[in-house]
Amino acid sequence: MNVLGIETSCDETAAAIVCDADTGGGTILSNVVLSQLDDHRPFGGVVPEIAARAHLDHLDSIIARALDDADMTLDAIDGVAATAGPGLIGGVHVGSMTAKAIASARGLPFIAVNHLEAHALTARLTNGVAFPYLLLLVSGGHCQLLAVTGLGAYELLGTTIDDAIGEAFDKTAKLLGLGFPGGPAVQDAALQGDARRFDLPRPLKGRAGCDFSFSGLKTAVRQTALKIEGTASDQDIRDLAASFQAAVCDTVADRCRNAFKMFAETCGTAPPALVAAGGVAANLALRDTLERTCTKNDIELVVPPPALCTDNAAMVAWAGLERLRAGITSPLDFRPRPRWPLAELRATE
């Protein structure tokens, strides 16, 4: 089957075509992403109205490019999938309504895709990972550990009690004057910094459970920045960025170690794999930390390529293909949702 996927949940306008593969995973025939970073950079963050208008202006041409890159027409498409939540509701409406229009006009099934499930299933597209597995979902708005036991079957083991990890990166970058987007900016600065220079807290490290907290770490970064304000050199900023990034990595590793035990208690077996997904999973320091943590615990680490960690339509097409293959489709009156918790998702939804 060939599935057209559409992604418009934030500030990337994207379309892709994915097909089944004999290996159990999938083949990406095309994956077109139009970034809006230049539109939002002057504001230091994503402006929902600007994002929605950009999706409306560009989505048709992005879909046409995806079809051209795959060397096919809509006649070869077996289903149309679109992110229907969670996300900025204006953009989600643009993508889902476009997908519904194509599906209705061509007599094709429509699949409403949960954006988080698309991230969660990406490793099955790229690596053919089998159920069950442990999922670390880290993005701008989410920070969760979940036991993934099947399509639509997600048990929440831990989540952030305040800020998501991506928010912490963005706010730290803004505080240090590193620019937007924050994640790559902090990573670049940290490459030339001394991670041992500033003693920052590791929130919840050593405590039971798998929950996260980054509010106290952000406060510590701000207090440290205020102490050196006016005299801070570029190297001071790089050292503080590196110290922040190291604190995040240590915290995530500690939470994952607890999740390994909780997964075993929940599923009756140790997790065969830890899948890291979401935009923050593209962070190289975090990947290295997770690799060491998994190696010590005899667990495979699976992280999709960086381009498939950030928002893209290939993951949406794949999630749609998995559901279509299972006989699960969505009605054309499906209502997009600004909030749609992954743990509440059902395979029949």
Interval 259-274: pLDDT, tens: 999 999 999 999 999 9
Q: Does the pLDDT at position 343 exceed 80?
A: no
DSSP annotation of 334 reads P
Are 302 and 128 spatial neighbours (Cβ–Cβ below 8 Å)? no
pLDDT of amino acid 252: 97
pLDDT at 235: 97
CATH 3.30.420.40 domain locations along the chain: 2-123+308-344, 131-306
Whether 132 shows a pLDDT value over 90: the answer reads yes
Per-residue tokens: 147: 């036991």
User: Given this model, what pLDDT does residue 186 score?
Assistant: 97
Question: What is the rounded average pLDDT for all residues in the chain?
Answer: 94
Backbone angles phi, psi at 200, to 5 degrees: -105, 150
Superfamily, domain 2-123+308-344: ATPase, nucleotide binding domain (3.30.420.40)
- How many of the other CB atoms lie within 10 Å of CB of 68? 12
- d(CA 234, CA 81) in angstroms, rounded, equals 46
* Topology of the domain comprising 131-306: Nucleotidyltransferase; domain 5 (3.30.420)
Residues 292-303, mean pLDDT to the nearest whole number = 97
What is the structure's pLDDT at 270?
93
Does residue 349 register a pLDDT over 70?
A: no
Cα dihedral across residues 292, 261, 86, 151: positive or negative = positive
Average pLDDT over residues 197-201: 97
Q: What is the pLDDT of residue 24?
A: 66
Asked if residues 168 and 248 have their Cβ atoms less than 8 Å apart, the reply is yes
Comparing CA positions, the residue from 190, 174, 189 lying closest to residue 40 is 174
> What phi-psi label fits residue 30: left (phi over 0), alpha (psi between -120 and 50 degrees) or beta?
beta
Q: What is the mean pLDDT of residues 56-61?
A: 97
Handedness of CA 272, 166, 201, 176 (dihedral sign): positive
What is the pTM (predicted TM-score) of this model? 0.93
Band the pLDDT of 347: cuts 50, 70, 90: low
